Amino acid sequence: LQDEETRKDYDYMLDHPEEYYRHYYHYYSRRLAPKVDVRIVILVTVCAISVFQFFSWWSSYNEAINYLATVPKYRIQATEIARQQGLLNKTKEKGKNRRSKEEIREEEEEIIKDIIKNKIDIKGGYQKPKIYDILLFQILLAPFYLGKYLVWNCWWIYCFSIKGQEYGVEEKLYIIRKYMKMSPSQFDSLEDHQKETFLERRLWIREKYEVYKREQEEELKKKMAMDPRWKRYRRWMKNEGPGRLTFIDD
């Protein structure tokens, strides 16, 4: 009877001895209940998810590097940089240090991949993982991010709503990204010429963005109308798609 809750159950049992099934239930529920702190369970779960996140992102990043190493455009550039730096010449040593063609090929492949990693800035879902992006650090840094967001919001209201300052390039792109409902990583993965087109068309102005949006929707409809696969799908939906009833005479 060291616990306050068990003492209450004991007192209740003395006052109501006829409810023996209830007493048995409370007794075994307390005896068999896990003694693990919920906070520890939550911490272990968050850590496990964070580890899985990090290694999953590394896997995606390596897949992107392996793919770029097969693209002629990037492979030729990386090979040329490796030659200029004299890295490929080191792999073809002679004498006692001479290696097989397979070993040389594997080393050259690693050199090319390293150059691609250092020279190409991969953005979007396949970018190089950062430890601060995993769930554990996001939770720990949540107060900092919240404070930073509030300060930024106050700055935005003061500069552009109260003082009426002109938007800079970053502010214009931010508004455009919000209109397009894209995440920062998705927007960063766009080509530079696409962002320049957005700025040239002044898409940070709502009316101009709505015009641009309608144009893109019309263009998409035209492409889908000309796409053979879409035509086949529409024929299938018309002739054999869901909701069509057929009656076959026996």
The letter for the amino acid at 94 is: K
Residue 64 belongs to domain spanning:
39-91+99-129
Nearest to 54 by CA among 141, 137, 119: 137
**Residue 118 pLDDT:** 79
| Same domain as 27, residue 57 | no
137 belongs to a structural domain: no
**Residue 185 pLDDT:** 75
Q: How far is C-alpha 205 from the chain's CA centre?
A: 28
Q: How many domains does the chain have?
A: 3
**Residue 247 pLDDT:** 42
What are the Cα distances from residue 202, in Å, to 120, 160, 175, 198? 29, 17, 11, 6
| Same domain as 206, residue 125 | no
249 belongs to a structural domain: no
- pLDDT tens string for the chain (250 positions)? 566 666 676 666 667 676 666 666 666 666 656 666 778 888 899 999 999 988 988 888 888 888 888 888 878 888 888 888 777 665 555 555 566 777 778 888 888 888 888 776 666 566 777 888 888 899 999 999 999 999 999 999 999 989 889 999 999 999 999 999 888 877 887 888 899 999 999 999 999 999 999 998 888 888 777 777 766 666 655 665 544 444 444 4
Query: What secondary structure letter does DSSP report for 167?
Result: P
| Same domain as 185, residue 233 | yes
Angle at 78 between CA 74 and CA 79, to 5 degrees: 115
23 belongs to a structural domain: yes
Dihedral in degrees, nearest 10, Cα atoms 20, 25, 31, 37: -140
Cα 20 from Cα 85, distance rounded (Å): 85
147 belongs to a structural domain: no
159 belongs to a structural domain: no
**Residue 45 pLDDT:** 92
Q: How far is C-alpha 209 from the chain's CA centre?
A: 26
**Residue 27 pLDDT:** 64
66 belongs to a structural domain: yes
**Residue 244 pLDDT:** 46
Q: How many C-beta neighbours within 10 Å does residue 31 have?
A: 7
